[in-house]
């Protein structure tokens, strides 16, 4: 846990007024700068102490064997693990004879600020060395959103009250030492010395290091160049050995004098390009950065962010904690995706090595729905990445004896890397989640070009997968057996409601897309018979319903399964204290499952069913996954438990700012951060689009006086501003001057001339506010906030 008062509540920045070394791992993750291509954890300039040193390049990984005590057919033999690449952040400072180290001497002052409009991490420190010499350091770091391969650091040292000799060593370091791993199976396997030196070059004030991974045979280049300003004499030279290049700057500073260094960094990597090509790529990027100059990079960064916030900002009046958190969430979502450009968005972005740097269904189910409304080009790029892995997914399906394509449960490059098939391969829903993300992108952007470009093939092959996975029983009902839904505490079941609804959606969407693109469909071998088979299976899909209880069993038989012993067995997370063999057959839910179905396939449930299902599953959901609270917020809001929804909003919003899952040091929970937007916009804003129409229905909890958010819908920008009593919709621009949406279920026409204000619809709960399993009541927002 990070204490609630650790970061002051400020609307546009995360400011750490003092340094707590016990929280270093967490703050490194929170202060990560990234553009989706390069990720620099917020490690201290001088490299140590650290929680976890981290410099990542999207999709740059090493492979490692996946061991099994008892092997089985089709188990993946090789895993992929994100690699901590050459660290260019390091700037060591020696003051007279003492290296600056916050653990020694006296740290008079230390402040770090993540500025979400500037896109920078700044640090100010005032240090008194053990020998009594004082310096102030002010560093500003950025990873350029405008120039994909570029990062830069401005580093300023100032002598305070007397002359000091300062030595600055600015480095590129490969194969950094890594801390020992924890026993938690979810923490990434750390690889030692993953990089093999290939080439090094140096100039007086810079260097290039080229390295290669041993098994995956990926090559990367890191380059640095320094601009140095200082009054008086300065000596600069650069050395390079295989794993280190260091530019050393030595000078003397009188009181008040400053040494200013701008360090430009450039990265490039490739699985195919040659060593010279790669080196030149890094040098070209470096040259581009120098051409822009430090101020140019800063300006471009702010311009990029201004444009983003203009279309994405969410304002939460009356709730400054939540205000800060949702901007933090959106900022990191942008950082993870902005320049990923046909690479995966890992579940932890480029903020740490958690989950081995893999991408899961998190991307399509939680991250892309937010990006689709706020940064649709980034969502499109992520979907394009999925499409590039279609051939691998086809091979995987064939290996498993299935038709179509089976996308991996977890991967970096596209190969299945899941070592536990009941919660990996059997979680087939990821295929429908991907298909749904393509369809949502088409509906929300109103742009069919992505479907024509690559989405159609994904829809067709996933539909084929479902058709070969499912079967009709002797009464013509279509079933999906042996599947694992979102709730990983109940696996290998029959007719998971979420999976069946999503598969049916996948099948119907594929048929509709083929009808839109008959020629392309024909090229994919789709016949009208095949399309009819898809529609037929979708229509016949079994959605279990327990008539006695009036709720949807999460899967066949769920509501008559044994109840979990919540009197005795409540050490969370349960997966670390209870065996699957007992979790699976019990009515204990790791994460929203039926509730997620009710969010994404909202129209498939009546309001009364929603109310009863929320009541039933709230009592059995332990939220051992960070992918749960946001969905619980959305559904609790929908059925009228607005205060409970507000608490869940805090759980997802502060997952990392308060380290609620005690593992933020390994990386941020991007899907849960996306959940902040989802909780606010889909929960309190009532956003739904599963009927193809932009539908809103705002209703606020007591703690939020006004909620204002911006959306992009089919080329238009819409602002929604809601209070407890009324809602104002503004159509800011758009391809046409009018737009028909739904407000509280009724059609409403907006126009670009003037905002439209309507009364808010109150949500009256059908049932009393439900309770949760003991120990799993949501942190009331007052405990998370201050």
Q: Are 195 and 37 in contact (CB under 8 A)?
A: no
Catalytic residue among 154, 416, 488, 651: 488
Q: Are 592 and 625 in contact (CB under 8 A)?
A: no
CA distance 336 to 29: 12
The H or E element that residue 93 is part of is strand 91-95
- Among residues 461 and 638, whose Cβ is nearest to a second copy? 461
The region, left, alpha or beta by phi > 0 then psi within -120 to 50, assigned to residue 159 is beta
Q: Give the pair of three-digit tokens for residue 517.
A: 């693109």
CA distance 233 to 674: 51
- Among residues 112 and 479, whose Cβ is nearest to a second copy? 479
CA distance 84 to 666: 12
The answer for residues whose C-beta is within 8 angstroms of residue 401's C-beta and 6 or more apart is: none
Q: Are 347 and 359 in contact (CB under 8 A)?
A: yes
- Among residues 189 and 277, whose Cβ is nearest to a second copy? 189
With the CA atoms of 670, 675, 677 and 679 taken in that order, what torsion angle do they form, in degrees rounded to the nearest 10? -170
Q: Give the pair of three-digit tokens for residue 106.
A: 């006296």
The answer for residues whose C-beta is within 8 angstroms of residue 579's C-beta and 6 or more apart is: none
The answer for residues whose C-beta is within 8 angstroms of residue 353's C-beta and 6 or more apart is: 52, 54, 81, 82, 84, 187, 188, 190, 666, 667
Q: Which residue has the tokens 């450009």?
A: 341
Strand partners, 512: none
For 250, other C-beta atoms within 10 Å of its C-beta total 17
Residues at the interface with a second copy (CB under 8 A): 66-76, 79, 185, 399-402, 418-426, 470-471, 473-474, 479, 481-483, 491-492, 494, 548, 556-557, 560-563, 569, 575-582, 584-585
- Among residues 69 and 768, whose Cβ is nearest to a second copy? 69
Q: Minimum CB separation from a second copy for residue 582, in Å?
A: 6
Let me know if 48 is a catalytic residue.
Answer: no
Please measure the distance between the N-terminal and C-terminal CA atoms of the chain and give it in whole angstroms: 14
CA distance 379 to 742: 24
CA distance 516 to 445: 17
Q: Give the pair of three-digit tokens for residue 2.
A: 């990070």
Scored b (16 or more CB within 10 A) or e, 504-532 reads bbbbbbbbebbeebeebbeebebeeebbe
Beta strand segments in 230-341, E:
234-241, 244-253, 258-270, 314-317
Query: Which DSSP state fits 35?
Result: -
CA distance 424 to 539: 27
Strand order in the sheet with 33-34: 33-34, 38-40, 55-57
The closest alpha carbon to 634, from 674, 703, 682, 704, belongs to 682
Q: Minimum CB separation from a second copy for residue 352, in Å?
A: 18
Helices 670-677 and 642-653, packing angle to 10 deg: 140
Q: Is 451 helix (H, G, I), strand (E, B) or coil?
A: helix
539 to 458, 501, 503, 533: CA distances (angstroms): 21, 10, 11, 10
Catalytic residues: 488
């Amino acid at each position: 846990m990070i204490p609630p008062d650790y970061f002051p509540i400020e609307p546009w920045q995360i400011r750490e007024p003092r340094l707590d070394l016990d929280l270093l791992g967490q703050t490194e993750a929170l202060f990560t700068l990234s553009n989706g291509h390069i990720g620099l954890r917020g490690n201290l300039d001088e490299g140590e102490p650290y929680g976890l040193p981290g410099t990542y390049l999207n999709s740059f990984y090493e492979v490692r064997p996946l061991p099994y005590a008892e092997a089985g057919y089709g188990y993946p033999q090789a895993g992929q693990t994100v690699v901590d690449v050459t660290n260019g952040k390091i700037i060591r400072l020696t003051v007279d004879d003492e290296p600056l180290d916050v653990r020694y001497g006296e740290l008079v002052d230390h402040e770090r600020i993540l500025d979400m409009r500037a896109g920078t991490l700044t640090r100010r420190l005032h240090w008194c060395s053990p020998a009594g010499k004082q310096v102030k350091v002010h560093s500003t770091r950025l990873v350029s959103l405008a120039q994909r391969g570029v990062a830069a650091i401005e580093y300023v040292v100032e002598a305070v009250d007397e002359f000091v000799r300062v030595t600055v060593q600015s480095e590129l370091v490969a194969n950094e030492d890594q801390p020992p791993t924890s026993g938690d199976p979810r923490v990434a396997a750390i690889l030692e010395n993953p990089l093999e030196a290939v080439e090094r070059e140096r100039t007086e004030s810079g260097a290039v290091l080229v390295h290669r991974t041993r098994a995956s045979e990926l090559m990367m280049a890191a380059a640095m160049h320094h601009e140095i300003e200082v009054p008086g004499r300065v000596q600069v030279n650069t050395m390079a050995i295989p794993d280190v290049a260091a530019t050393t700057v030595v000078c003397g500073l009188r009181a008040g004098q400053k040494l200013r260094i701008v360090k430009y960094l450039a990265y490039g990597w490739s699985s195919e390009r040659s060593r010279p090509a790669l080196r030149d790529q890094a040098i070209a990027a470096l040259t581009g950065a120098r051409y822009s100059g430090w101020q140019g990079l800063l300006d471009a960064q702010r311009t990029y962010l201004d444009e983003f916030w203009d279309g994405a900002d969410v304002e939460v009046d009356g709730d400054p904690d939540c205000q800060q958190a949702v901007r933090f969430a959106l900022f990191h979502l942008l950082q993870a995706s902005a320049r990923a450009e046909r690479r995966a968005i890992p579940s932890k972005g480029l903020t740490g090595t958690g989950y081995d740097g893999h991408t899961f269904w998190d991307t399509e189910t939680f991250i892309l729905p937010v990006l689709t409304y706020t940064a649709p080009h980034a969502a499109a790029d992520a979907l394009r990445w999925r499409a590039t892995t279609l051939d691998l997914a086809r091979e995987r399906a064939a290996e498993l004896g299935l038709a179509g394509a089976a996308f991996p449960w977890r991967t970096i490059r596209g190969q299945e890397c899941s070592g536990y098939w009941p919660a990996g391969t059997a979680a087939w829903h990821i295929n429908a989640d991907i298909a749904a993300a393509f369809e949502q992108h088409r509906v929300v952007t109103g742009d069919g070009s992505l479907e024509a470009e690559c989405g159609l093939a994904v829809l067709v092959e996933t539909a084929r997968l479902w058709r070969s996975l499912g079967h009709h029983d002797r009464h013509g009902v279509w079933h999906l057996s042996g599947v694992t839904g979102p709730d990983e505490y109940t696996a290998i079941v029959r007719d998971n409601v979420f999976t069946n609804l999503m598969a049916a959606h996948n099948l119907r969407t594929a048929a509709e897309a083929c009808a839109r693109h008959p020629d392309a469909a024909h090229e994919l071998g789709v016949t009208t018979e095949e399309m009819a088979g898809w529609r037929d299976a979708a229509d016949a899909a079994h959605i279990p319903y327990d008539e006695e209880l009036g709720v949807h069993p999460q899967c066949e038989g769920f509501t008559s399964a044994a109840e979990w012993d919540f009197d005795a067995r409540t050490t969370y997370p349960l997966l670390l204290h209870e065996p699957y063999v007992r979790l699976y057959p019990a009515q204990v839910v790791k994460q929203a499952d039926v509730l997620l179905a009710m969010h994404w396939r909202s129209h498939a449930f009546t309001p009364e069913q929603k109310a009863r299902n929320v009541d039933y599953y709230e009592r059995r959901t332990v939220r051992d996954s960070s992918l749960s609270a946001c969905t619980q917020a959305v559904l609790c809001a929908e059925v009228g438990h607005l205060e409970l929804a507000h608490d869940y909003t805090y759980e997802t919003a502060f997952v990392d700012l308060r380290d609620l899952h005690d593992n933020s040091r390994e990386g941020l929970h991007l899907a849960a951060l996306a959940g902040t937007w989802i909780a606010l916009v889909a929960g309190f804003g009532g956003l739904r689009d599963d009927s193809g129409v932009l539908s809103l229905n705002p209703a606020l909890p007591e703690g939020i006086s006004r909620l204002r958010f911006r959306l992009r819908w089919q080329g238009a920008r819409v602002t929604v501003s809601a209070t407890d009593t009324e809602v104002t919709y503004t159509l800011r621009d758009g391809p046409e001057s009018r737009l028909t949406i739904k407000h509280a279920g009724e059609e409403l026409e907006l126009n670009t001339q003037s905002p439209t204000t309507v009364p808010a619809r109150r949500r009256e709960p059908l049932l009393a506010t439900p309770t949760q399993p003991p120990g799993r009541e949501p942190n009331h927002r007052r405990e998370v906030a201050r």
